Amino acid sequence: MSPRFLIAVLPLLLSGCISLDPHYDRPASPVPGQTPQGAAYTALTPVQKEEYRNTSWQQYVLDARLRQVVTMALSSSRDLREAIASVKSAHAQYGEERAALFPTVNAELSGSRSRALTGTGNQTAISSSATAEGSVSSFELDLFGKNQSLTREQYETYLSTAEAARSTRLTVLYNTVDYWLALAADRSNLAIAKDTAESARQSLEVTRKQFEHGTASMVDVSSADTTYQSAMSDIASYTTSVAQDKNALDLVVGQIVPDNLLPEGIESLQQAFANIPAGISSDVLLNRPDVLEAEHTLKSANASIGAARASFFPTISLTTSGGVGSSQLSSLFKNGAGVWSFAPSVSLPIFAGGYNVAQLRYTKAQKEYYVAAYEKAVQTAFQEVADALARRGTINEQLMCQQNYVASAGSYYHLADLRYRNGIDTYLDALTAQRTLYTARTSLVSTQQAYYTNLITLYKVMGGGTALETELK
């Protein structure tokens, strides 16, 4: 085996095989194994976590218009573009760190020609030389795994950034649906306010005529006018809300959403989302991108401890070269003589003012911090899922009762208005019935919005489908 070959492969043969990273164990779950039990959860149907993991947002969102709006958001959102750019940057930094595991090999061809005195009288001679070399400059042998620990640290940071981008993608999906639903609800409220204003206007006209004929008092006229003016005020308020909802939707989508993709009202949505059972064990939390992000950050901190430990050990660097040399460039690769050099160096840390000790303490403290951050992420995820499931377990009953309330309020107002027009009751009863109906209808809109929002909230807090992760790569 030639010396030049040994010089070329020696750095690879001596690359590190020792890791000083602490053994990593995922922290024990700080939450119960099952979601809470109680009256709010009795209506839930058990389901396996794979049913959520394997459900893409295209399968979950059934409304054709909303699908198009979400597609626009996922392709145009500036927040998502920033997140993806961060992933690309983290991946490039990982590549930079990983490059330290391998020697840098350079090829060099050099030549020189000089004229000098020969030492005999004033005679001169011209000499020339040429060399061709391959060299490894200052390659640090990773005997104690420092570079590998730093590489693992950067790799886990990259994975953490990727999960953060997945979380951003899921948030963009949720916000798009949420603003779209808010627009639908406010459009319904605007329509209700207009209906109420028109009904109040008609009642006001009837009351004024009755006042003119002496069958109603000025108090009745003033009461009817207050209802009308209140409804007109609500019209102005909901008109503003509809415009602002559209602006918010355009912002989260990243472009102007066409009018044909906007909802008419909350009551027109019907089956906007797939009805996936909601009872599930708490291990589904491990699929949430924010929990995975926290765990990769913890693993990165674990690797940084190994790098800090390796700083206490000697550093061995190699500078090597091997090639051929000749006095003539034309014979360099034919009759040239072999040339080589080998220059190892060893650096042993003796005194650094306590820097290495402080650095090791810092990395250990950082790991403790990220353990707590991971556990908090799991606890937060558990609370969000439990809240969403509690809402899911009761929303159907509330929606049904609210619909019955609107039906009863409608009958109450119809009868009260008839009795007033026929002179049986005072206008106070009709006014009370009208306000009750108005409140019931707007409350129904809020409940319908809560019903649909809960469906998309469940999809978000349970981590979404794997399609989000797949499309991000």
Write down the mean pLDDT value for the chain. 81
pLDDT at site 34: 73
Q: Could you tell me what percentage of the chain is helix, strand and coil, using 3-state DSSP and rounding each to the nearest 5? A: 65, 15, 20
Query: Which tokens belong to 386?
Result: 């439990």
Which pLDDT belongs to residue 146?
83
Q: Where are the alpha helices (DSSP H) in 260-354?
A: 289-310
Is the pTM above the cut of 0.75? Answer: yes
Beta bridge pairs of residue 134: 107, 322
Phi-psi region of 308 (alpha: psi -120 to 50; beta: other; left: phi over 0): alpha
> What's the one-letter identity of residue 338?
G
Q: What phi, psi does 116 have (nearest 5°)?
A: -145, 160
Cα–Cα distance measured from residue 469 to residue 464, given in angstroms and rounded to the nearest whole number:
9
Q: What are the pLDDT digits (tens) for 226-258?
A: 888 888 999 999 999 999 999 999 999 999 999
- Mean per-residue pLDDT, 93-109: 79
Q: What's the pLDDT score for residue 119?
A: 59
Least reliable range by pLDDT among 82-86, 92-96, 125-129, 267-271? 125-129
What does the pLDDT read at residue 3? 47
The pLDDT tens digits for 393-424 are 888 899 999 999 999 999 988 888 888 777 77
Distances (CA, A) of 48 to 55, 284, 462: 12, 9, 12
CA angle (190 as vertex; 185, 193 as ends), nearest 5: 125
Phi, psi of 74 (to 5 degrees): -70, -20
- Over residues 292-303, the pLDDT tens digits come to 999 999 999 998
